[in-house]
Chain A
Amino acid sequence: MLRVEDLSVAFRQHDGRLTRPLAGVSLTVASGDCAGLIGGSGAGKSLIAEALTGTLPRNAELSGRIGVSGRIALAPQAVTALDPLARAGTQIARMARLAGRRADPAALMARLGLPEAALRAYPHELSGGMAKRVLIATALATGAGTLIADEPTLGLDPGAADRIMALLAGLAAEGTGVLIISHDLPRLVATTTRVTVLREGRPVETVPAAAFPEGLTHPFTRALWDAQTWTATEWAEAC
């Protein structure tokens, strides 16, 4: 269970002025729930992930309330978050040890649809989709009740992106609270129960996934949806 109320992040700049790239964000992710978070580039999506996992830069000032029951884990956006010099299985076991648990990397890999051989692979030997799965596996190895997936489909081909989203939905169905941060609105809507929309660090609205696209009332959310679905269909026709 994760409950965020009125979350705000500010940075003190060199000249003493305060910038506030994130303000007034509230969201809830219950166990077994799959929620989405969307916004354009620079909307503060990754800042939320950093705030929730306590990895904000040192000069950041955090305010608001974050209520967590159980552990919270982050599957970061870039696959460079995997240690290039350690085998996938080693990294999963290491993450579990840091959380004071014993993980069964083989079982975790099977649960994420990864072949057993991937345990002994180094990150550079994995495909993009497999590396994303290993990242999710490292986060799950901590035994976290809440998983934040930051841009899990970034850089993947459509097939791999669909499989990752299905995997995250499956994790939620098994009881994990899942928060997916993404700019891929159609897939987000297809996977989550509701989507929180951010614009330049301020919350626009939280919309049930069922409301897309007919039930949309806010022009920003509608514009976001139109932009992405138009791109998808137009590209499909053009190719």
Chain B
Amino acid sequence: MTGWLGRLLVERLIRLAWLLPLAMAGLFTLVSLAPVDPITAYVGARVADVGPDQRAAIAQAWGLDAPAPERFALWLGHIARGDLGSSITFNAPVAEVLADRAGASLTLIALAFVISFAVGLGLGLTAAATRGRWPDRAIRGFAVVLTASPGFWVALLLIALFAVGLGWLPSCCAAPPGLTADEADLAARLNHLILPAATLSVVGTGPLILHSRARAAAFLESPAARHLAAHGARPGWLVWRPGLRHALGPALAVHLAGTGELIGGSVLAETVFAWPGLGQATVRAALGADAPLLLGIALATLVVVFLGNLAADIAARLLDPRLRQA
């Protein structure tokens, strides 16, 4: 019974084996070609005090004067030893920055994932249950509006409404002013999590509503549903039991496969809400020409997206036995 899982894992490991070097070469090329000068970024405001000789000395100390292939080989060698380099902007090893900030980002992304999955599946099934009638049309309209709404705009709307207008929720940060996240109690931390998570959940909800609706509706119109209905199954039961079962696999697969979009959305959400996660670090690294941190975040993102896609494939096969044979 578990033969399919072993086959899938081997197949994906092979894919990772060529994908990772390819992505690393691509990332390195992009960062090398980027029109930012790490020395200028490092020197910052003291630019007037630093002459050409000193710049050359820094470049030599960092190995920036070596040809690109040599620098790439050096970088690969360091990564192979588990050394991702040091972040200029945070003045700390990249691995440490990643470890410090991954928790905040993963909390945000996980909560957004759960919210959009529950809302998307729930609304999708409700639409399927009332298909052709006004709740269905309203939900489909809502899904299209959600899909078309940029994340930063939703964030600003939410802040205007819940933080400024109603004053119910904080508009920024992971903890009350003056406290670190560790000092704040759980209630305060959850309170700060709601708006960023709601913003981020907007990304995946629209497609999920339409997908769940389509799958559940296809089941409800299938001969299998008619067979059950002919022998006493009520419409509500058909939607929320076997209908939910039919929508669950495709919905979870689509949602997990959208991990990349969720991470992309988290960069925006973390910036707008000053959330101390990797998304915010990405923006600071990009603005500060912090090549080691950018590369480290990109590699971590690559692994997370890869794992998300792998989880999508496993979920799809677990929930639909017909897919296990291929």
> Which residues of A approach B to under 8 Å, CB–CB?
53-55, 73-74, 76, 78, 80-86, 94-95, 98-99, 122, 124-125, 135, 138-139, 142
Contacts and interface: CB of A to CB of B under 8 A. Distances in A.
Contacts of B325: 124
Main secondary structure of the interface of B (DSSP, over half): helix
Contacts, number: 60
Given A55-B226, A78-B223, A80-B223, A85 B232 contact: no
B223, B228, B231, B233 interface centre (most CB from chain A within 10 Å): B231
A76 B322 contact: no
Interface string B219-256: 00011101111111100000000100110010000000
B224 A139 contact: no
Nearest to A124: B322
A142 B245 CA distance: 22
Nearest to B320: A85
A197 to B, nearest CB: 25
30 contacts: A53-B231, A54-B230, A55-B226, A55-B230, A76-B226, A76-B230, A78-B223, A80-B222, A80-B223, A81-B223, A81-B224, A81-B226, A82-B227, A84-B224, A84-B322, A85-B246, A85-B249, A85-B319, A85-B320, A86-B242, A95-B228, A98-B228, A98-B232, A99-B232, A122-B321, A122-B322, A124-B325, A125-B321, A139-B231, A142-B232
Q: Which 5 A-B residue pairs are closest in the complex by CB-CB distance?
A: A81-B227, A98-B232, A81-B223, A55-B230, A83-B224
B232 A76 contact: no
B321 to A, nearest CB: 5
A80 B224 contact: yes
Contacts of B233: 98
A220 B190 CA distance: 78
Interface in B246-289: 246, 249
Contacts of A54: 230
Contacts of B223: 76, 78, 80-81
Given A80-B223, A86-B245, A124-B321, 16 more contacts: A73-B231, A74-B231, A76-B223, A80-B224, A81-B226, A81-B227, A83-B228, A84-B224, A85-B242, A85-B245, A85-B319, A85-B321, A98-B232, A98-B233, A138-B227, A138-B231
Contact of B231 (A80, A82, A95, A122): A95
Given A55-B226, A76-B223, A122-B322, A99 B231 contact: yes
A81 B227 CA distance: 6
Contacts of B230: 53-55, 74, 76
A80 B218 CA distance: 13
B321 A55 contact: no
Contact of A142 (B222, B231, B242, B249): B231
Nearest to A121: B321
A52 to B, nearest CB: 10
Contacts of A122: 321-322
Nearest to B248: A85
Contacts of B321: 85, 122, 124-125
A98 B228 CA distance: 8
A48 to B, nearest CB: 14
